Amino acid sequence: MKQFPTNFLWGAATSAPQSEGHSTQNGKSPSTWDKWFELAPEKFNENQGPENTSNMYEMYREDVQRMKDIGMNSFRTSISWTRLLPDGKTVNEEAVRFYRDYFSELKKQDIQLVANLFHFDMPWWLMEKGGWEVRESVDAFAYYAKTAFELFGDLVPMWTTFNEPMVHIECGYLYGYHYPAIVDFKKAVQVGYHTLMAHTMAVKAFKDGGYPGKMGIILNVSPCYPRSQDSEDVKAGHLADLLNTRSFLDPAVLGEIPNELIELVKDHHLTPVTEELDQQWIAQNKVDFIGMNYYQPRRVQAPENPQFPASMPSDFYAPYDWPNKKMNIYRGWEIYPEALYDVAMMMKETYHNIPWFVSENGMGVADEERFMDETGMIQDDYRIEFMQDHLLQLHKGIEAGSNCFGYHTWTFIDCWSWLNGYRNRYGFYRLDLANQYERQLKKSGLWFKELALTQQLKE
Ligand code: BG6
């Protein structure tokens, strides 16, 4: 039996665009996802768009009760920027009513909210001006953040600025998975820089305003494991780590962009446009905690034919297909729980043992109805085993002194996921697509309840 610390947070995460629905109603203006779906629905799995979520916009009261029913004492969602400020300036009173009511319900049930400000959902009005490519996005985001702190500060114990900033940078500007689906390394660096400054200025607004609660950021971090100890492979691992992990973790926690990263982008003619006081703001606005989303490790090797100057990150490191890997055969990602221990140690040793939590971890499964029993319950023993194995590694890290205060799975109710729609199911509750109001508890939800209420993990 493994005992977790008292006050450990047990919960799950989702995001506004993936759970609320009503994506073009109740005063909300379109985000890039709403607009992209309107322009190119065929890109979305089974033509399911952001309107086809579990409808938490109407169901939040019952859903908060469902959280309580499975022992959750914490929950993350995001605020929709375009619901709160449809034109970037004017507050939508209907959104204020909705979020205040939703967050009050969580507070009443003693479920600690982590409220995130951006989960890939760039306002369309801002995208038309260039989105994260233009400096205006930094001020617009800081204004939105301040508005949210003012309106909901009394109901939010923990704030985060961004979910996985590397994802909207890579997917939008390098690999063509998210709007605007551009392939341009220089633009990606500029977008990354403005994202970092938007984060920094939101933290500054939070500190200057003296709002209650703590401030953090959520990063998708994995240790970068090189193919071998040969110097070229080790170098590839080091560069992958620099670009993917340290690019946000260092400024957020240590208050500085790694010098090595600044030199690297300079050598490759990728230096972004900056402003004079930026470094100072970064140094003065560190976070209180970090959220880590972990699904699978990053394995890398030296690239075969690197270009100089680099035109893509693949000139710095190439993916390595480890022959011994264990796969999630239902989703296609590697399963490697040991990385959570390595993350725990990295936070302890390199990042001053700052408080952190696992903000997403989970197992996506396609065609999950094949595991439904005659009573209608999904028998997701594979998911229980997945969480169990990850929690054992996390526990080992906590015993070794890492300052981890919680574990959130992805996700609470099966949710719509960008271009993948409902292809991969992750929830404790199954969502019946024929009737999006129907939620059915899975076996993993019962398992989680016992874990959360006893704080003990059976081995
Ligand atoms: C996480 C994102 O990285 O992965 C979520 O924060 C996303 O927004 C989740 O839904 C699962 O992704 P997928 O592609 O398996 O549906």
- Interface predicted TM-score (ipTM): 0.97
* pLDDT given for residue 437 in this prediction: 85
User: Tell me, what CATH number does 218's domain have?
Assistant: 3.20.20.80
Give φ, ψ of 11 to 5 degrees.
-165, -160
pLDDT, tens digit, 9 for 90 and up, residues 21-39? 999 999 999 999 999 999 9
Positions of E strands within 169-237? 214-220, 224-226
β-bridge pairing 158-163 and 214-220: parallel
Considering Cα of 359, then 363, then 368, then 371, what sign does the dihedral take?
Answer: negative
Number of domains in the chain: 1
| Active-site residue (options: 20, 105, 133, 164) | 164
The verdict on whether 368 is a catalytic residue reads no
The preferred substitution site among 360, 365, 411 for testing ligand 1, maximizing ligand atoms within 8 Å of CB, is 360
Q: Is 116 in the pocket of ligand 1 (CB under 6 A)?
A: no
Quick one: which atom of ligand 1 is closest to the CA of 410?
9
CA dihedral 91, 163, 252, 400 (to 10 degrees): 140
Whole-model pTM: value is 0.98
* pLDDT given for residue 194 in this prediction: 99
* pLDDT given for residue 302 in this prediction: 98
Q: Is 410 in the pocket of ligand 1 (CB under 6 A)?
A: yes
* pLDDT given for residue 436 in this prediction: 77
Q: Is 417 in the pocket of ligand 1 (CB under 6 A)?
A: yes
User: Nearest to residue 291, comparing CAs of 111, 31, 75?
Assistant: 75
Q: Answer whether the bond into residue 123 is a cis peptide, omega within 30°.
A: no
Is the separation of the CB atoms in 81 and 92 below 8 Å? no
Nearest residue (CA) to ligand 1, atom 5:
417
The verdict on whether 438 is a catalytic residue reads no
* Secondary structure of the chain in HEC code, one letter for each residue: CEECCCCCEEEEECCHHHHCCCCCCCCCCCEHHHHHHHHCHHHCHHHCCCCCCCCHHHHHHHHHHHHHHCCCCEEEEECCHHHHCCCCCCCCHHHHHHHHHHHHHHHHCCCEEEEEEECCCCEHHHHCCCHHHCCHHHHHHHHHHHHHHHHHHHHCCEEEEEECHHHHHHHHHCCCCCCCCCCCHHHHHHHHHHHHHHHHHHHHHHHHHCCCCEEEEEEECCCEEECCCCHHHHHHHHHHHHHHHHHHHHHHHHCCCCHHHHHHHHHCCCCCCCCCCHHHHHHHCCCCEEEEECCCCEEEECCCCCCCCCCCHHHCCEECCCCCCEEECCCCEEECCHHHHHHHHHHHHHCCCCCEEEEECCCCEECHHHHECCCCCECCHHHHHHHHHHHHHHHHHHHCCCCEEEEEECCCECCCEHHHECCEECCCEEECCCCCCCEEECHHHHHHHHHHHHCEECC
HSE on the CB side for 92, CA within 13 Å?
20
Range of the domain at 33: 2-457
* pLDDT given for residue 368 in this prediction: 98
The preferred substitution site among 411, 417, 431 for testing ligand 1, maximizing ligand atoms within 8 Å of CB, is 417
* Positions of the chain with pLDDT under 50: none
